[in-house]
Amino acid sequence: MPLPTLALGCLGAFLCGSVPFGLLLVKVAGKGDVREHGSGNIGATNVSRVGGKALGLLTLLLDIAKGFLPVFVAKQLGWGETALSLLALSAVLGHVFTPWLKFQGGKGVATALGVALAFRAGMVLPALGVFIVLLLVFRYVSLGSVLSAVALPLVLAWRGGPPPVLILWAGLSLLVVIKHHENIRRLLKGTESPLWGAKKETAHVEG
């Protein structure tokens, strides 16, 4: 593939991923700036706190879609898996470091789910299983989010992904983990808030 075509594709995926749907939806709903409430994050969890569950669900779906779309389109055009993996990473980078918000975005979980669905849908079910089991057992969304992100490249490796593709997906997974560093610190201290039950502190878990 010509390098300019690949570069333009990655730029397009980055810009697609950078659309801050959570911020826009809350503003359109007349509820102000979502960054000024709750955890200050633009992801679906904080949108749910500020604008209600319906708005949070819509944010989740749109954040998934903006990751899915560029990878799906490129896949239909016949792009190879290495190029598709670069697009996937670019879309998640766009969400995490959106230029429209001074490069302060979300944590990338929903967008990572979208790119994985478009890349190899079979990767998603085991990772989703990890998330659900951990959530039901420990009640922490952050723990499920981090370890389900880690599961993606592991599932891909188990299914025979080539080394360049594995490296790119490992980088994507690492990005999601790094964006959850505050949650990881609270988990280690025992101060992270569970999704249900007794609250310890305000949770900071976003997509």
Range of the domain at 123: 3-189
Residue 10 lies in a domain: yes
Q: Rounded to whole angstroms, what are the CA distances from 109 to 13, 97, 144, 153, 162?
A: 16, 13, 10, 14, 23
Residue 158 lies in a domain: yes
Instruction: Report pLDDT for 1.
Output: 75
Residue 117 lies in a domain: yes
Residue 71 lies in a domain: yes
Q: Which residues contact 94 (CB under 8 A, 6 or more apart)?
A: 13, 14, 15, 16, 17, 18, 105, 111
- Predicted model pTM: 0.91
Residue 88 lies in a domain: yes
Q: What is the 3-state secondary structure (H, E, C) of 165-188?
A: HHHHHHHHHHHHHHHCHHHHHHHH
Give the pLDDT confidence of 169-204 residue by residue, as tens digits: 999 999 999 999 999 999 999 998 887 775 544 444
Instruction: Report pLDDT for 41.
Output: 84
Pairwise CA distance, residues 144 & 150, whole Å: 10
Domain count along the chain: 1
Give the pLDDT confidence of 77-117 residue by residue, as tens digits: 999 999 999 999 999 999 999 999 999 999 999 999 999 99
